[in-house]
Amino acid sequence: MEIVDLNTADNQNIFDTYLGLTASGYDIANPNRTSAICNLIGAENWDLRTLRYFRFARINDGRINPYWPRVFILTFVSLLTDQVPRGLHSALIRTHLAAIGNLSPTEINATTAGWAAAFPEQAALLRTSRIYTDARTCYRDAIQDEIRENGIHFGREVLAAQDRLHALLPSHSLSQQVTTILNPLQADPLTDVVNVRGRIYVVTSHLRVESYVHEQIHIWLEPYLSAWKDQIAKNVELLNPLYDRMTYLTYAWDHSAASWNNVFLETLTRVITILVSDGGDPEQQTQQIEDLVQQGFTYARPIAETMLMMGKAQALSGEWLERCFRSCAETAKHSHKPPASANSC
């Protein structure tokens, strides 16, 4: 499995996406990584139509990430439509967006699909800019610096975490290829994961072990989801005590089984990431689980406890899931709303 490779970590479609976003006001990237690029972008006289196009990605509704989910959609489309005839874009985009389980149905509509389908045309216009070549060079230099400085350590830590994952959970092969795309113009806390024709792209500003492992675990859990679907749906009432917080964090969008499935899966993935990413320090793991609870992932503690109690032989089994939900139900009886200041991306 490919972890990070200079030949694939730099992607022009992702650069084009964030070039347009940055020109239109995306200002949450780490300035230490982007100052030279942003100075070039800020000095250009951009067409107002281009700025309006990319400004549509921002959702001003008070969320902690005002660019979710439209930047993800644009990232997805930039990779999905690459080298695909333009006449096929709209139908292709609608079909693939409808299959993504962590998007609210309200975001998958004709307006958004039509906007996304216009990306290739906008990218072509961006490439005619007088600063395009210089900005692209700065961008590629930042990627090369990151791999040179952190690539070896990152690879070793990811492999160590994968070994701990194999020790914690039932083993199975990951059939999908995972490719890291480094994107210095992206906000540091955010990671986009795009599945295009069986290939998984992890798009991140810099090399973060926990982020990469987290996304691998999402992929690892996919074979279990269809088997769990009915059992998860039967426990949809467990969403109620944490609904407001999960809506704010955009993991829930209504009281449906689909929302609850997304919340449960995200909580489980975060818990497993903690259990395999820090070298197995129990005290540190306990504190990180409690931090998750305070952020609003109320069921992090019972999920972790049932996983550690039942062990690898029964982890992720139907019996484990049933016991996990019973523990979550007990937690729900005594739950309280997390502090308003809790935050997570």
**pLDDT above 90 (res 101):** no
- Same domain flag for 129 and 254: no
**Residue 61's pLDDT band (cuts 50, 70, 90):** confident
Helix (H, G, I), strand (E, B), or coil: what is residue 164? Answer: helix
Give the least confident one: 56-60, 94-98, 121-125, 319-323.
94-98
pLDDT at 320 over 60: yes
Are 131 and 229 part of one and the same domain?
no
Between residues 271 and 62, the one the model is more confident about: 271
The answer to whether residue 338 sits within a structural domain is no
Query: Once rounded to an integer, what is the mean pLDDT over residues 54-71?
Result: 89
Supply 14's token pair.
């992702």
In terms of pLDDT, which residue wins out, 107 or 68? 68
Domain-ending residue, one of 149, 178, 203? 149
Provide the whole-model pTM.
0.88
Residues 127 and 15 in one domain: yes
Per-residue HEC secondary structure of 196-264 comes to ECCEEEEEECCCCHHHHHHHHHHHHHHHHHHHHHHHHHHCHHHHHHHHHHHHHCCCCCCCCHHHHHHHH
Count the domains in the chain: 2
Region 237-253 average pLDDT: 94
Task: Identify the weakest region by mean pLDDT among 39-48, 163-172, 275-284, 335-344.
Answer: 335-344
Instruction: Using alpha carbons, select from 327, 329, 155 the residue that is nearest to residue 242.
Output: 329
Domain stop point among 111, 127, 149: 149
Q: Is residue 290 part of a domain?
A: yes
Residue located via tokens 């333009």: 86
How far apart CA 290 and CA 176 sit, in angstroms, is 33
Chain segment 283-317, per-residue pLDDT in tens: 899 999 999 999 999 999 999 999 989 888 888 99
CB 200 within 8 A of CB 176: yes
- The predicted model gives 227-252 an average pLDDT of 95
Range of the domain at 329: 223-333
pLDDT reading at 252 higher than 90: yes
- Interval 43-59: pLDDT, tens: 999 999 999 999 999 98
| Position 35 pLDDT exceeds 60 | yes
Whether pLDDT at 203 is above 60: yes
pLDDT above 70 (res 344): no
**Residue range 108-118: average pLDDT?**
89
Is pLDDT of 279 > 70?
no
Does residue 345 form part of some domain?
no
Residue at which a domain ends, from 132, 149, 166: 149
Lowest-confidence range among 2-16, 26-40, 199-213, 288-302?
2-16
Overall average pLDDT of the 180-193 stretch: 94
- Mean pLDDT along residues 184-212: 92
Residue-wise pLDDT for 118-177, tens only, equals 999 999 999 999 999 999 999 999 999 999 999 999 999 999 998 888 888 887 666 667
Residue 63 has pLDDT above 80, yes or no: no
Neighbours of 225 (CB within 10 A): 13
Q: Is residue 214 part of a domain?
A: no
Which pLDDT score, from 0 to 100, does residue 336 have? 55
Report yes or no on 297 lying in a domain.
yes
- Average pLDDT of the residues of the chain: 89
Q: What is the spatial order of strands in the sheet that 199-204 belongs to?
A: 177-182, 199-204, 191-196
- Over range 21-50, report the average pLDDT: 94
Q: 99 in a domain, yes or no?
A: yes
Residues 236 and 140 occupy one common structural domain? no
Is residue 182 one of the residues assigned to a domain?
no
List the single range of 20-29, 61-70, 330-339 with lowest mean pLDDT: 330-339
Collapsing DSSP states into helix, strand and coil, what is residue 296? coil
Do 19 and 136 fall into the same domain? Answer: yes
Q: Are residues 25 and 136 in the same domain?
A: yes
| Res 341 pLDDT > 60 | no
The confidence score (pLDDT) of residue 181 equals: 96
The pLDDT-based confidence of 41 (bands split at 50, 70, 90) is very high
Residue 193 domain-assigned (yes or no): no
